[in-house]
């Protein structure tokens, strides 16, 4: 095993879109586990939209310190009786090639025959869990109901479309940022219709794609997408608000509230935001639903994979620019 580790530090707060200048790679010897800890060689790293929010916060990410993120790795040396060498674990001590974890901070991952390990950061991980919770616990999607998903070609968006189809959704409509992503949604993910939000007002495009209205909206964008969804929702419709990627890099503050917000009252709509970390007890439910279909091939984990830890910043910035389809992942050399 190599004797040198790499860690990414954030070294400045961005204004608007971050650049490579906001990060630094720091080289150091591979750490040795102290009693009660284990050394993990990391295999896959997740880069996520919430990382952009964290870059602005002194409370979440301290400057000139290792960054965090969901990561899959293999225990290579352990002095924690709760972790055995060779076990595959999920932890949040990411953005580094090697991490020290404990049995309390790392979760042993089940190995499902026929399911790629990377799925634990995609359809079986926080990405898929966000989609599952949005559909089943927040929006409480019922069979035959029609659904609209914003940022539908991203990690949560593709997972939402695929899981909604398994759950018996009716018409599924998505928005995306390019013609190629629109085609991917309808040709591969199972969306009935999709549109490029650059092609015109979102409200007009949604009304055309879902002329009879929608029952459920899973929102990853906010702003004009939320306003459009409120206009298209039928009475007693539900909104599961996962994120607002449209404002993460904004320098003008949060977007204005939807002009039709009072329609939430007039239509008896329900809007609920959530954090997936508050629904970890749904993990086994997700496994029960998804794993059999992953094995059969009916379900897949949509991924854009960047090879090499040295390209993790490239992957992160690319994700913010919308250059991924599905979940953006970074794969280490030892994972291949």
Contacts 24+ apart (CB under 8 A), 22-30: 22/55, 23/313, 25/310, 26/66, 28/4, 29/3, 29/4, 29/5, 30/1, 30/2, 30/3, 30/4, 30/5, 30/98
Q: Are 106 and 177 found together in one domain? A: no
Q: Are 132 and 260 found together in one domain? A: yes
Q: Are 137 and 93 found together in one domain? A: no
Q: Are 42 and 177 found together in one domain? A: no
Q: Per the structure block, which two tokens stand in for 195?
A: 């549109």
pLDDT reading at 243 higher than 90: no
Q: Are 130 and 106 found together in one domain? A: no
Position 245 confidence tier, pLDDT thresholds 50, 70, 90: low
Q: Which domain covers residue 79, as residue numbers?
A: 4-122+302-335
Q: Are 44 and 85 found together in one domain? A: yes
Per-residue pLDDT at 92: 95
Per-residue pLDDT at 50: 86
Per-residue pLDDT at 168: 97
Q: Are 164 and 97 found together in one domain? A: no
Lowest mean pLDDT among 79-93, 195-209, 237-251, 259-273: 237-251
How many structural domains are present in the chain? 2
pLDDT digit string, tens, across residues 5-61: 999 999 999 998 999 999 999 999 999 999 999 999 999 999 998 899 899 988 888
Rounded to whole angstroms, how far apart are CA atoms 17 and 19?
A: 7
Per-residue pLDDT at 60: 84
CATH value at residue 88: 3.90.180.10
CB 66 within 8 A of CB 42: no
Per-residue pLDDT at 334: 84
Q: Are 112 and 167 found together in one domain? A: no
Per-residue pLDDT at 49: 87
Lowest mean pLDDT among 54-68, 138-152, 263-277: 54-68
CATH value at residue 242: 3.40.50.720
> What is the pLDDT of the chain when averaged over all its residues?
94
Q: Are 148 and 228 found together in one domain? A: yes
Mean pLDDT, residues 209-222: 96
Q: Are 117 and 140 found together in one domain? A: no
Q: Where would I find the H helices in 73-149?
A: 126-133
Q: Are 175 and 267 found together in one domain? A: yes
End-to-end CA distance of the chain: 16
Collapsed DSSP state (helix, strand, coil) of residue 229: helix
CB 35 within 8 A of CB 77: no
Render 258-325 in DSSP notation, one character per residue: PTTTTHHHHTT-EEEE--GGGGGGGHHHHHHHHHHHHHHTSS---EEEEE-GGGHHHHHHHHHTT--S
Q: Per the structure block, which two tokens stand in for 307?
A: 């090879």
Position 256 confidence tier, pLDDT thresholds 50, 70, 90: low
**CB count, 10 Å around CB of 164?**
27
Residue 287 is assigned to a structural domain of this protein? no
pLDDT reading at 253 higher than 70: no
Strands 71-78 and 38-46: antiparallel
Q: Are 118 and 146 found together in one domain? A: no
Question: H or E element: which one contains 41?
Answer: strand 38-46
Mean pLDDT, residues 152-172: 97
Residue 295 is assigned to a structural domain of this protein? no
Per-residue pLDDT at 283: 97
Position 171 confidence tier, pLDDT thresholds 50, 70, 90: very high
Please state the pTM of the whole predicted model: 0.92
Rounded to whole angstroms, how far apart are CA atoms 15 and 220?
A: 22
Per-residue pLDDT at 123: 97
């Amino acid at each position: 095993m190599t004797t040198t580790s790499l860690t990414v530090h954030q070294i400045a707060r961005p204004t608007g879109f971050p650049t490579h200048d906001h990060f630094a790679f720091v080289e150091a010897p591979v750490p040795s586990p102290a009693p009660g800890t284990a050394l993990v060689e990391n295999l896959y790293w997740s880069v996520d939209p919430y990382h952009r929010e964290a870059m602005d916060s002194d409370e979440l990410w301290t400057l000139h310190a290792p960054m965090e993120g969901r990561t899959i790795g293999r225990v290579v040396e352990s002095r924690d009786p709760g972790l055995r060498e060779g076990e595959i674990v999920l932890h949040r001590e990411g953005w580094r090639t090697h991490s020290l974890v404990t049995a309390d901070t790392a979760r042993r991952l089940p190995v499902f025959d026929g399911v790629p390990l990377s799925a634990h950061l995609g359809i079986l991980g926080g990405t898929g869990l966000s989609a599952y919770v949005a559909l089943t616990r927040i929006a409480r999607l019922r069979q035959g109901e029609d659904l609209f998903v914003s940022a539908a070609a991203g990690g949560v968006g593709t997972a939402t479309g695929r899981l909604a189809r398994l759950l018996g959704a009716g018409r599924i409509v998505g928005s995306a940022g390019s013609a190629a992503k629109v085609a991917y949604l309808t040709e591969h993910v199972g969306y009935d219709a999709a549109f490029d939000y650059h092609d015109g007002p979102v409200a007009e495009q949604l009304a055309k794609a879902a002329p009879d209205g929608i029952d459920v909206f899973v929102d990853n964008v906010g702003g004009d997408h939320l306003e459009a969804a409120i206009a298209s929702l039928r009475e007693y419709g539900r909104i599961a608000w996962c994120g607002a990627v449209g404002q993460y890099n904004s320098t003008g503050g949060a977007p204005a509230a939807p002009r039709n917000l009072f329609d939430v009252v007039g239509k008896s709509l329900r809007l609920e935001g959530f954090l997936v970390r508050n629904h970890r007890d749904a993990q086994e439910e997700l496994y029960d639903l998804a794993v059999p279909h992953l094995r059969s091939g009916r379900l897949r984990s949509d991924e854009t994979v960047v090879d090499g830890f040295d390209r993790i910043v490239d992957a992160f910035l690319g994700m913010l620019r919308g250059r991924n389809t599905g979940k953006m992942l970074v794969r280490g050399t030892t994972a291949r």
